[in-house]
Amino acid sequence: MTTLSTLPPSGQTRSSQAQPRPRKPHVQKRDWTGWKFVGPFMIVFALVLIAPVLYSIYLSFFKDQLVGGNSFVGFENYGQALTDPKFWESMGRVTLFFVVQVPIMLGIALFAALAIDSARLHLSSFFRIAIFLPYAVPAVVATLMWGFMYGTKFGLVGNLNEFFSIAIPNPLGNTWVLAAIGNIVTWEFIGYNMILFYAALRVIPTDLYEAASLDGAGAFRIIRSIKMPALRPAIVIGGIFSVIGSFQLFNEPSILQSLAPNTISTYFSPNMYAYNLSFSGQQYNYSATIAIIVGLITAVIAYIVQNSGSRKEA
Amino acid sequence: MSTTDQTQTTAEKAKAPRMSRYTSEKKAGKSNQGLHTKKSIILTIVMGALLIYSLLPLFWLFVNSTKTQAELLNSFGLWFSGDFALWDNIVATLTYNDGVFVRWFGNTVLYVVVGAGGATFLAALGGYGLAKFNFPGKKAVFAVVLGAVAIPGTALAVPTFLMFSQMGLTNTPWAVILPSLISPFGLYLIWTYAMDAVPTEVLEAARMDGSGEFRTFFTISLKLLAPGLVTVLLFTLVATWNNYFLPLIMLSEPTWYPLTVGLKQWNMQAQTVGGDVIYNLVITGSLLTIVPIVVAFLFLQRYWQSGLAAGSVKA
Amino acid sequence: MKAPHSNTRLRRTALAVATGLALSVSLAACSAADGGGAETGTADDIAAALQEETTLTVWAWAPAVEDIATAFEKKYPKITVDVVNAGTGNDQYIKLQNAIKAKSGAPDVAQIEYYALPQFALSDALVDLSDFGMDSLEDQYTASTWGSVNLDGGVYALPQDSGPMAMFYNKAVFDQYGLTVPTTWDEYIATAEQLHAANPNAYITNDTGDAGFATSMIWQAGGQPFTTTDSTDVALNLQDEGSKKFADTWNQLIENDLIAPTASWSDEWYRGLGDGTIATLNIGAWMPGNLESGVPEAAGNWRVAPLPVYEAGDTASAENGGGGDAVLAQSKNKLAAAGFVEFMNSGEGTQISIDAGGFPSTVADLESDEFLGYESEYFGGQKINEVLVQSASDVVEGWSYLPFQVYSNSIFSDTVGQSYANKSDLNGGLTDWQKAIAAYGNEQGFTVTE
């Protein structure tokens, strides 16, 4: 799950929001000064993101075979992808993942943020930092670590089974593997989301609390009527990040695969499927097609999440 | 998200440089709520469970980096066992293969300094430009940035690799640094932050004085943006420090590996004919990889939290 | 990379004429003019190229290669060998494939396992070493390793090590439970039952489904599921007699939970090998070194026995793992690269490789008294090489891998692995695997017959 390299698609409303501001005449002219500032970012952006995307789109219209070479095939790859059961199975899996894991993670993070903000907690700043720490652990290291611990024979799970004479089922077995991956992702990102929410809580103006306590509102009432509305934008951001992260699920399953080859297939997530198609199968064109379809679907879902987030407020 | 948002409107009312207000509000808010509340044991216990969940794997990592390879495989995972071999492991990690770990560490620092530093700088310029200027194509910039990030990065690896290869960039540090120069999140954060942190009036005044836009940016605006910059820097720092997939694809020479790729290679080494089984070094190396970034976060937490506050509220 | 072929023939003729007429002086001039990048050459050309300033890049993960490179540089001071560990096995193939696709960035020499060799050889990514006269080295190598590099009439690598299979067993465990060393697979299954009954935590072996192991077992059973003719016509039959024999045998272990579901090479696996809960390994002859470094605490417990056979009295074995070193078609220093490959795998390099724990593929080394007489301390003083070398000569002939074996193996766990996970009939898994392989082959333009 990579959360950082993504952008919450909320600035469109943001920029329209900026428009009602009184503007000085010189800003209203077709002024290119802004490009001098945005230009450097956009040049590098064009090189490392736009160009590969365009190249991918180009590739998706061809088919390069080990025997027979390269040929233009139009939309054939798209047709194939849309009827590819492996692709849809992987999409289904990450959808399930995001439907279950994201609410749990965001829920825990929200609870933690509210708890730390409530001033009812002993040592709250220690909690804040400690829960945030896993975010600083590289996904590779986190997965290696959890992978070691998941071992049912000699790993931590095995130790616990032996110690308490219980039988925790194999976390990397068919039934639990998605949960096991969800656990790693949750572990990595609870702290990040908690800080996101916490930061939003910290800027609630104090006069709101004063007014509420004058009205005799209790803690839960304050949470419901003051804190939750204030948190909504942050929750939407966290949600959008998590949607994109879920659909791009890759590092955790691909590193765990060597421990659980039979439960984590080569098409476990759409991203793994695309990766394996191109890197072990040399089906670069079909892989590019899958990538584009996943990108489109992700964008649509992220857009829906953003919209439903704002509609509730309206 | 919406102009009707309550915080938003309240925030709009509060004029003037925002930055200092965040911290002061924070303190005020805390003490204000604190007046009426007692510490709750139950809440502390529930949060304690979450704390254990968060720290247990790190504790496991620490405990196991004190074990020898033999003890590692034959002792209870969550407690110390045998000789306390942490120092030996650290020394072994740092000297294994002629100290290649140190080299990887240096590479990682290079990627972080140039990559995260550059990303922050580009995001600062771009975000500021978007916040403070109207220019043709501004909306297009937004749509393009948003659209491109939804495409899975891993799936773009092949086209990117082929392109970089044509440009002769593969297997050089540039192949890792160039892509990490882009932080759409950073761009967004600075954008929202700059809207209020840099008052338009100040810019107007500078223009009256005949200061060029870039001079204004470097002498005035950059200082006002500082907390936002620190936040972006920290998040890009984590992203580059943890970067795994891209260097894995782009680099074939271990001399240019960052720590993450190197560690994975050490982990794979157990599968080699005649190769060493060095899980203890993998674990100790993982610990050493985490330490610097954790320290960075602890020291700079005051800044990034206030910077993040701006971003999250503005959405 | 196909273009040079007609050139090659021309140049070969020219060279033959030149060799007939002129002296080595003119040959040296010829190779110098080519900058050492000639597509063909004789031993003399190679010798000349090795006297010129050249830097060779070698991708290899075997630790011995570093030492071999040092020895090579000492012998040929003008050559610099840059050994790069670009990843182990599949990780490296991915990078190699990328570099080939990108048409730049490939090394001069790469270590490639036998199973992956056809994929690179038949896509013209590798140099046919017989253009450099190395087909004459055939007699130096065991039949099975030579068969693995001699593909479609060309020689695409020189064998570096080999992995004739044997059964490694933990004698301490066998003694503790009064087990006898099995010689057939039926006995092996009986032993598995005995052991697991005596100690429910202990298993005869581990297996979570490994394409390399399964194909080796089919190989030993005399199966030939993959046949390739003219590089593009592929015949598949994972339900031939040998494949079925393997599946029917292994089914009995899987269906009765007699195999530890531990992934090979994981830390759990190493623990199991150390504490006796994994009692045997059927694996290539390169394993002793890994046991010594990975499972030091079990020193003295392990022994080697011949691989159990399907029919009592048989002597069949198979190769498991091992690989060779190839010269890449992208190389601009093909002569020097070929020289290095020869030094490594036919010259002084072989001994260095053996000293580092590699199991050789060269007949002379396998038959040397020193090698056969070696008493391994780790194996309680057993002369392990006697067993392993015997296995090398018992390898069943006629096996071949697919021209897209790397990909096929990568989807093994998607198909056959499911039989392992569900404890269902392996024949079903093999059939699924065949279907998936056929689909891929057709997709890539091969003519696949099932």
pLDDT in tens, B137-183: 888 887 787 776 666 666 677 788 888 888 888 889 999 999 999 98
Q: State whether C445 and A67 contact (CB < 8 Å).
A: yes
Q: State whether B74 and C297 contact (CB < 8 Å).
A: yes
Mean pLDDT, chain C, as a whole number? 88
Chain B residue closest in CA terms to A146: B57
pLDDT of residue B84: 81
Of the residues A12, A141, A276, A290, the best mutation for testing chain B's interface (the one with the most B CB atoms within 10 Å of its CB) is A141
| Chain A CB within 8 Å of residue C440 CB | yes
Length of chain B: 315
Q: Please give the helix or strand (H or E) that residue B5 lies within, else none.
A: none
Q: State whether C421 and A153 contact (CB < 8 Å).
A: no
Residue with tokens 């074995």: C317
Q: State whether C105 and B70 contact (CB < 8 Å).
A: no
Q: How confident is the model at residue C159 (pLDDT cuts 50, 70, 90)?
A: very high
| Chain A CB within 8 Å of residue C206 CB | no
Is a pLDDT exceeding 70 seen at residue C6?
no
Is a pLDDT exceeding 80 seen at residue C157?
yes
Q: What is the mean pLDDT of each run of 10 residues along chain A (314 residues)?
A: 35 38 48 88 91 90 88 93 94 93 94 87 83 87 86 76 81 88 94 86 82 82 85 84 85 85 90 87 89 86 76 47
Q: For each of the domains in chain C, give its residue range(s) and CATH number, in order of start.
A: 4-159+323-367 (3.40.190.10), 165-318+381-449 (3.40.190.10)
Q: State whether A266 and C265 contact (CB < 8 Å).
A: no
- If one compares B80 and C437, the residue with the highest pLDDT of the two is C437
Please give the CATH architecture assigned to the domain spanning A84-313: Orthogonal Bundle (1.10)
What predicted TM-score, i.e. pTM, was given to this entire model? 0.83
* DSSP character at residue C111: E
Query: Which of A175-179, C10-14, C59-63, C175-179 ranks highest by mean pLDDT?
Result: C175-179
Question: Which one of C64, C84, C105 has the shortest CB-CB distance to B165?
Answer: C105
Chain C residue closest in CA terms to A259: C263
Write out chain B residues lying below 8 Å of C101, CB-based: 162
Q: State whether C357 and B274 contact (CB < 8 Å).
A: yes
| Chain C CB within 8 Å of residue A262 CB | yes
Of the residues A37, A133, A193, the best mutation for testing chain B's interface (the one with the most B CB atoms within 10 Å of its CB) is A37
- If one compares C354 and A306, the residue with the highest pLDDT of the two is C354
Mapping DSSP to helix (H, G, I), strand (E, B) and coil, where does residue B82 land? coil
Of the residues C57, C88, C328, C354, the best mutation for testing chain B's interface (the one with the most B CB atoms within 10 Å of its CB) is C88
pLDDT of residue B249: 82
Is a pLDDT exceeding 50 seen at residue C264?
yes
Question: Which one of A233, A299, A302 has the shortest CB-CB distance to B1?
Answer: A233
Is a pLDDT exceeding 90 seen at residue C336?
yes
Report the C-alpha dihedral over residues B244, B248, B250, B251, rounded to 10 degrees: 120
Question: Which one of A66, A155, A279 has the shortest CB-CB distance to C268?
Answer: A155
| Chain B CB within 8 Å of residue C294 CB | yes
CA distance C96 to chain B (A): 9
Residues in contact with A198: Cβ distance below 8 Å, sequence separation at least 6, in sequence order: A113, A116, A117, A128, B305
Sign of the C-alpha dihedral computed for residues C416, C422, C423 and C425 taken in this order: negative
**Per-residue DSSP letters for B250-291?**
H---GGG--HHHHHHHHHHGGGSTT----HHHHHHHHHHHHH
Q: For each of the domains in chain B, give its residue range(s) and CATH number, in order of start.
A: 94-314 (1.10.3720.10)
Closest C-alpha among B29, A258, B202 to residue C209: A258
Write out chain B residues lying below 8 Å of C102, CB-based: 161-162, 165-166, 170
B38-61 per-position pLDDT tens digit? 778 888 888 999 999 999 899 988
Other beta carbons less than 10 A from residue B167's beta carbon: 13
Cβ atoms B243, B258 nearer than 8 A? yes
Given a contact as 3+ CB pairs under 8 Å, which chains touch B?
Answer: A, C
Q: Say how many CB pairs under 8 Å bridge A and C.
A: 79
Under the phi-then-psi rule, with left for phi > 0, alpha for psi from -120 to 50, and beta for the rest, what region is B99?
left
Of the residues B81, B154, B252, B263, the best mutation for testing chain C's interface (the one with the most C CB atoms within 10 Å of its CB) is B252
Q: Say how many CB pairs under 8 Å bridge B and C.
A: 91
